[in-house]
């Protein structure tokens, strides 16, 4: 059986078409895309507004959602922010993490996100003791995504050191980081191998950073991901202090270190890629390594503005993430990437609205290993979202400018419908699986403070 969704307007990259019927098969994929359908076919579900491919949040730390507003009191640096983050991480259990992540992923669905890349390093109990199920925390995240109705790529993260010490070894984890660490990359690989893909979830890998994985262990993580054809992500040059420490210990930049140990490549995504040399940009682009920009977090932490245009020109595909969840709004991430660059360069128009939507959808899904999602085409996963064109933010513009309206005016609050695998997860602005998302967030967050 097929079911038809009728979109009043749909973004069929790169243009907006009126009256589009999306036929969805029993397999949860788009069976046909029919344009010029002026009125809803009998039995069709009507989507008023602009329907887009589902958005991919390519970089998430779900538990950081509990920091929202709390970390805005007073001032400080990334490193003082990190201490507050550790205090929240210390309180999480598999049960409380599931409750929090379910609410966070439901918040994402309400904002049109259909897939999330969870950069997961909170593996063990406080003090580093393993749970009876060594992947209890990761399984909690996978279950939370299912309960919230979205897809997840669990980027299980190697995090075995607290910093760079010498060319052979990293500094041992501090007491907060013991629950992040498996001891060695080899032990990480053994545990991560127990995780399995399922219909809504795929397993990837991550190097937390060159600070957290000693150089001689980087290849273990890269080989693990390579043998499985899995996505591999890494925090890269987010902080100038990381670059300085890497130069002091290894005599090279973090990008060069990753390149020399086989981490860069077409399945790899560098997150932030902020403080780069020209050689770094050439290494990233030349290897086909992707770049995930997280502008709302990068500005919140005063990290800086990464050289996204130069990276893209060099060959690095761009994706977007909400990272610490200062806000969860992929339209804001897309808008901020362009507007940040305008402020830095004093020029406008670095990306078209279509290019920014592509980063938030197709290219984000590709970075997470969901290459069969992120476009409204036959055969693709039936994952899409509809943005209202009649809110106070979006009203007034011609429908043919829907892509520009979505990127430069809309917010996640303007999403009216989210469909994942043909399943109506958000209907008329309400989550169908978790009816009271604000209460779920309140209960989950207050339990950690």
Cα–Cα distance between 425 and 433 in angstroms, integer?
Answer: 7
Burial class (CB in 10 A: 0-12, 13-18, 19+), 291: buried
Question: Which listed residue (182, 323, 329, 414) is catalytic?
Answer: 323
Q: Is the dihedral of CA 273, 278, 283, 287 positive or negative?
A: positive
Cα–Cα distance between 316 and 309 in angstroms, integer?
Answer: 9
CB atoms within 10 A of CB 26: 10
**323 annotated active-site:** yes
Burial class (CB in 10 A: 0-12, 13-18, 19+), 319: buried
53 strand-pairing partners: 384
Cα–Cα distance between 89 and 64 in angstroms, integer?
Answer: 9
SS3 31: strand
Using an 8 Å Cβ cutoff, are 205 and 188 in contact?
no
Backbone phi and psi for residue 357, each to the nearest 5 degrees, phi listed first? -65, -35
**272 annotated active-site:** yes
Question: Which listed residue (9, 272, 325, 350) is catalytic?
Answer: 272
Using an 8 Å Cβ cutoff, are 291 and 262 in contact?
no
Give catalytic residues, as residue numbers. Answer: 272, 323
């Amino acid at each position: 059986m097929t079911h038809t969704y009728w979109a009043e307007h749909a973004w069929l990259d790169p243009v907006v078409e009126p009256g589009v019927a999306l036929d969805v098969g029993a397999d949860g994929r788009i069976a046909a895309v029919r344009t010029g359908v002026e009125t809803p076919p009998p039995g069709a579900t009507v989507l008023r507004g602009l329907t887009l491919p589902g958005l991919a949040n390519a970089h998430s730390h779900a538990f950081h959602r509990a920091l929202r507003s709390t970390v805005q009191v007073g001032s400080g640096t990334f490193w003082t922010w990190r201490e507050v983050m550790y205090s929240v991480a210390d309180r999480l259990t598999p049960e409380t993490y599931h409750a929090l992540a379910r609410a966070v992923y439901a918040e994402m669905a309400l904002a049109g996100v259909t897939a999330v890349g969870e950069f997961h390093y909170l593996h063990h109990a406080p003090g580093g003791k393993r749970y009876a199920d060594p992947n209890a925390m990761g399984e909690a995240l996978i279950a939370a995504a299912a309960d919230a109705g979205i897809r997840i790529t669990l980027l299980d993260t190697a995090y075995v050191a607290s910093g760079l010490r010498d060319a052979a070894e990293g500094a041992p984890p501090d007491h907060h980081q013991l629950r992040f660490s498996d001891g060695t990359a080899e032990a990480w690989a053994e545990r991560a191998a127990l995780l399995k893909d399922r219909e809504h979830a795929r397993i990837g890998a991550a190097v937390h950073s060159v600070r957290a994985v000693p150089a001689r262990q980087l290849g273990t993580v890269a080989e693990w991901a390579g043998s499985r054809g899995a996505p591999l992500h890494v925090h890269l040059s987010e902080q100038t202090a990381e670059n300085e420490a890497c130069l002091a210990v290894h005599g090279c930049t973090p990008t060069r270190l990753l390149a020399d140990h086989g981490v860069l490549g077409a399945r790899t995504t560098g997150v932030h890629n902020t403080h780069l040399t020209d050689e770094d940009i050439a290494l990233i682009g030349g290897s086909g390594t992707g770049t995930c920009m997280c502008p709302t977090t990068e500005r919140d932490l005063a990290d800086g503005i990464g050289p996204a245009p130069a990276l893209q020109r060099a060959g690095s595909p761009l994706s977007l993430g909400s990272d610490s969840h200062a806000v969860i709004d992929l339209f804001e991430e897309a808008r901020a990437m362009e507007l940040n660059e305008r402020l830095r360069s004093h020029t406008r128009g670095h990306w078209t609205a279509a290019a920014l939507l592509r980063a938030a959808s197709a290219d984000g899904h590709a970075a997470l290993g969901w290459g069969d999602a992120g476009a409204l085409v036959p055969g693709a996963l039936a994952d899409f979202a509809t943005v209202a064109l009649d809110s106070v933010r979006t009203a007034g513009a011609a429908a043919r400018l829907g892509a520009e309206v979505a990127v430069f005016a809309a917010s996640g609050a303007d999403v009216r419908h989210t469909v994942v695998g043909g399943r109506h997860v958000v209907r008329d602005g309400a989550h169908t699986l978790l009816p009271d998302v604000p209460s779920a967030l309140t209960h989950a967050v207050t339990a950690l403070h």
